[in-house]
A = this chain, B = another copy of it.
Amino acid sequence: MSDLKQEILAMVKDDLAAIEVALEKNLNPYFDLVSKVASHVLFSGGKRLRPLLIVLSMRLCGYKGNYDKTYSIIFEYLHAATLLHDDLVDDAALRRGKPVAHSIWGNSVAILVGDFLLARSLSISAGTGNMKVIEAVAQITENMSQGEVHQLMLKGALDISEEEYMEVIKRKTAVLFQGACRISAIITDAPKEKEKALSDYGYNLGLAFQMVDDLLDYTSDTKVLGKEVGADLKEGKLTLPVIYSLKAADMKDRNRMENIIKNEDFSVNDFETLVELLKKYKGISYTQKMAAEHISKAKEALSIFEPSETKEILEKVADYALNRKT
């Protein structure tokens, strides 16, 4: 584990423990099967980044009550629901080193437990009695499903623009991070400029987080990552490292890349060749640079807040999002 990750974990130990308790306590299913499937995806070493963002953002705005954990799990249930459905959509095999839920319990159960978690997330939102939270959660859910549809529409296409890529990751990832942070400001009745600052922090963090996710699919290895490296490529999902490199490559290399991309059964050798070309045409370094820029923006957005331990953690979280290896 990196030093940075250990540092953060030490600072949020109690929060994480309380989040785990809340995640377990609020699941509330009628059937063991629902609980088993939901737990498989909920308690499998997730980073708890989304709930943590809420707890920390609320604290940054001066919140001292006990409801931050409840608000925080809304977004983790929502996240877990989308994981169940996305693994199906992507036909993934592994998630965090474990077989995906639909490979164990079948597609039908995965769909329905995903629906349950989605509904549970909205029930708990409703239970808070806070209309702004409910509206945000519903709109985030809408956005995420459409982001996934957009990604699906672009599947197999070789001429995706950087703008289209940004549109996809905005909807499928950044709006949730943004929503989580923004809502925290709203709940705590923070002034408009703090709401804007946290919204900007979350949005840029979300973009960078997804970019790094897409990078790791080329630069990590399966054992470290807990899921198959090259999975995006196998699914015909083009991400920024490839999009950038395809555009920058000369005709011969572009043809080589396109042939590898179009071949669903590419070999380990093919994959290594592709990664070499992503390095040669700077798709890897460009994506790193873009992610770093968004992380800078995220941290800059926090500048209006007074120095505090909470602010420090949020800054460290941003650094970690950029430098993480899994």
Which A residues are within 8 Å of any B CB, using their own CB?
Answer: 29-31, 33-34, 82, 85, 88-89, 107-109, 111-116, 118-120, 122-123, 125-127, 129, 131, 134-135, 137-139, 141-142, 144-146, 148-150, 152-153
Contact (Cβ within 8 A) A125 B107? no
CB distance from A235 to the nearest CB of B (A): 10
Given contacts A88-B111, A146-B34, contact A138 B123 (CB under 8 A): yes
What are 22 inter-chain pairs, A to B, with CB distance below 8 A? A30-B146, A33-B149, A34-B146, A34-B149, A88-B107, A89-B108, A107-B107, A112-B145, A113-B149, A115-B141, A119-B142, A120-B142, A122-B137, A123-B138, A123-B139, A123-B142, A125-B138, A126-B131, A126-B134, A126-B138, A129-B131, A134-B134
Most B CB within 10 A of own CB, among A33, A120, A134:
A134
Measured between beta carbons, the chain B residues less than 8 angstroms from A148 are 112, 115
Contact (Cβ within 8 A) A115 B31? no
Contact (Cβ within 8 A) B149 A122? no
Contact of A149 among B31, B134, B135, B150 (CB under 8 A): B31
Measured between beta carbons, the chain B residues less than 8 angstroms from A129 are 131
Kindly state the separation between the CA atoms of A127 and B31 in the bound complex, as whole angstroms: 32
Contact (Cβ within 8 A) A116 B149? yes
Contact (Cβ within 8 A) A29 B112? no
CB distance from A18 to the nearest CB of B (A): 24
Chain copies in the assembly? 2
Contact of A142 among B108, B116, B139 (CB under 8 A): B116
CB distance from A51 to the nearest CB of B (A): 19
The 5 closest A-B pairs by CB, nearest first: A119-B141, A115-B145, A123-B138, A89-B108, A119-B142
CB distance from A42 to the nearest CB of B (A): 16
Contact (Cβ within 8 A) B138 A112? no
Contact (Cβ within 8 A) A31 B142? no
Q: Please name 15 further chain A to chain B contacts, defined as beta carbons within 8 Å, in addition to the given A119-B142, A123-B142, sorted by A numbering.
A: A30-B150, A85-B111, A88-B111, A112-B145, A112-B152, A113-B149, A119-B141, A122-B138, A122-B141, A123-B138, A123-B141, A126-B134, A126-B138, A127-B135, A131-B131
Measured between beta carbons, the chain B residues less than 8 angstroms from A125 are 138
Contact (Cβ within 8 A) A149 B119? no
Kindly state the separation between the CA atoms of A126 and B122 in the bound complex, as whole angstroms: 10
Contact (Cβ within 8 A) A118 B118? yes
Most B CB within 10 A of own CB, among A88, A116, A122:
A122
Contact (Cβ within 8 A) A111 B138? no
Given contacts A123-B135, A138-B125, contact A149 B109 (CB under 8 A): yes
CB distance from A242 to the nearest CB of B (A): 21
Measured between beta carbons, the chain B residues less than 8 angstroms from A108 are 88-89, 152
Kindly state the separation between the CA atoms of A42 and B131 in the bound complex, as whole angstroms: 28
Contact (Cβ within 8 A) A119 B138? yes
